[in-house]
Amino acid sequence: MNTYTLPSLRLLISLCALLAFSSHAQSKWSVGLGAISVESPYLDTDNTTIALPTIDYYGENLTVRGIAADYKLFKKEGFSWSVILEPGQFFDSTDSDNVAISSLDERKLSLYAGTRIMHRSRFGIIRASVSHDVLGHGNSAKLNSHYSYPIKLSTRLSLTPFIGIELSSRTLSNYYYGVAQGESNTFDAYDLGSTVNYQSGIVANYQLNKQWNINAMLKYSQLDDDIKNSPIVADNNLSTVMLSVSYHF
């Protein structure tokens, strides 16, 4: 995967996470520009910082944010049930300055299909989803759960702190963080079980007017100890910083 496409996909994937928490104007389409800085967990691999245009659609039942989609099958009184399609992670090993890492197999992009439930009340917003990789990367699956609490500071500014947990199947954990037998002449084979990762952060949304919105996000992720102990992983404490400006019409 070339050096432009890879960070571009990283941005689209991460902006899907940002927009999932942010509010937006009552309009069907938005275009904008997003910038992101993402820490890599892999050994001797630089962080990625890039800017990229975005386009999103907000329909009555269908929402498309970048390359993620959510179609509501049922909604009533703050509760909704959806089918979802969303990208996962990936790692181009040639991005690493470490020769032993760059010689590993590429961890390709996953695409997850599944279902999500969401409940919105005065106590906050709860989201939970279960999904399966449809591209066949180890027959992998994951379960996500997030809680967020929007705080309206003014008619234009809102803050949304959030916490989350992600449970990944053994096959998913091994595909991205394990070392297969015979894959490396430097690293011993490393096998993981299922893993649990934690997230926390905050999203800020500022509505300049009816058309223009500014969103920012700071997210902290703590990876499972099994991932931390992998010989190809350098750090299990990761941060992501994002900023986007969008025009709704």
Domain residue ranges in the chain: 5-248
pLDDT tens per residue across span 99-130: 999 999 988 888 899 999 999 999 999 999 99
pLDDT tens per residue across span 19-59: 555 555 456 898 988 888 888 999 999 887 878 888 889 88
Q: Cα separations (Å) of 110 from 88, 107, 136, 176, 242?
A: 5, 9, 8, 10, 22
Determine the number of helices (DSSP H) and then strands (DSSP E) in the chain.
Answer: 4, 13
191-209: b (≥16 Cβ within 10 Å) or e: ebebbbbebebbbbbbbee
**Per-residue pLDDT averaged across 82-94, rounded?**
88
CATH code assigned to 5-248? 2.40.128
pLDDT at 16 over 60: no
What is d(CA 31, CA 65) in angstroms, rounded to the nearest whole number? 10
